[in-house]
């Protein structure tokens, strides 16, 4: 089984960017933890990060028939991108939306997710542990 993990804009700055909201772990730290968990489950994880909306759309489109699951933290694009939402609609696999912070306890504009209604589920507010929970969720949904 293969899961694609997509990190959106500014997540490459984790550890430096607003640690009060996003913690002190880097994206590489989180990816290592995820890879270890995936290995324990027998799941291969591929990681992708971009600050560019079009690159994220391209990567989602290229996932068709290559992956059995997708974990996405669309970051700021969560609240604005119809293009990413429409790309996700192309996939017929479990999709887990992840956010490090609880978007519903943040500024009003962050409380709306453009992708929430097209994903299998959403995990937010658990910091980097949310990504590990997302692996468990995707794994359970991928199992026959």
Is 104 considered catalytic here?
no
Instruction: Using a pLDDT cut of 70, give the percent of the chain over it.
Output: 99
Tens of pLDDT, residue by residue over 51-86, are 999 999 999 999 999 999 999 999 999 999 999 999
Q: Are 7 and 48 in contact (CB under 8 A)?
A: yes
Q: Which of 22, 67, 77, 131 is catalytic?
A: 22
Helix (H, G, I), strand (E, B) or coil at 2: strand
Predicted TM-score (pTM) of the model is 0.94
What is the model's pLDDT at position 116? 96
When pLDDT is averaged across residues 118-137 and rounded to a whole number, the result is 97
Q: Which of 7, 67, 99, 131 is catalytic?
A: 99
pLDDT tops 90 at residue 141: yes
Residue 101: other Cβ atoms inside 10 A: 18
What does pLDDT average to over the chain? 95
Domains and CATH numbers, the chain: 2-142 (3.40.50.9100)
Asked which of 26-35, 37-46, 64-73, 97-106 is least confident by mean pLDDT, the reply is 97-106
Helix (H) or strand (E) holding 49: strand 44-49
Distance CA 27, CA 6 (A): 11
Instruction: Look at phi and psi of residue 125 and say left if phi exceeds 0, alpha if psi is from -120 to 50, else beta.
Output: left
- The residue whose two tokens read 């609880």 is 102
What is the model's pLDDT at position 111? 86
**β-bridge mates for residue 124, sequence order:** 99
Is 22 considered catalytic here?
yes
């Amino acid at each position: 089984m293969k899961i694609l993990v997509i990190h959106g804009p500014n997540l490459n700055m984790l550890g430096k960017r607003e640690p009060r909201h996003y913690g002190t772990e880097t994206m590489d730290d989180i990816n290592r933890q995820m890879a270890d968990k995936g290995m324990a489950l027998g799941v291969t994880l591929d990681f992708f990060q971009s600050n560019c909306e079009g690159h994220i759309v391209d990567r989602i489109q290229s996932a068709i028939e290559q992956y059995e699951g997708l974990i996405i933290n669309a970051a700021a694009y969560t609240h604005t991108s119809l293009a990413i939402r429409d790309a996700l609609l192309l996939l017929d696999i479990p999709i887990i939306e992840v956010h490090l912070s609880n978007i519903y306890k943040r500024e009003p504009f962050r409380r709306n997710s453009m992708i929430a209604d097209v994903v299998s589920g959403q995990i937010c507010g658990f910091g980097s542990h949310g990504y590990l929970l997302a692996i468990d969720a995707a794994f359970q949904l991928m199992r026959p």
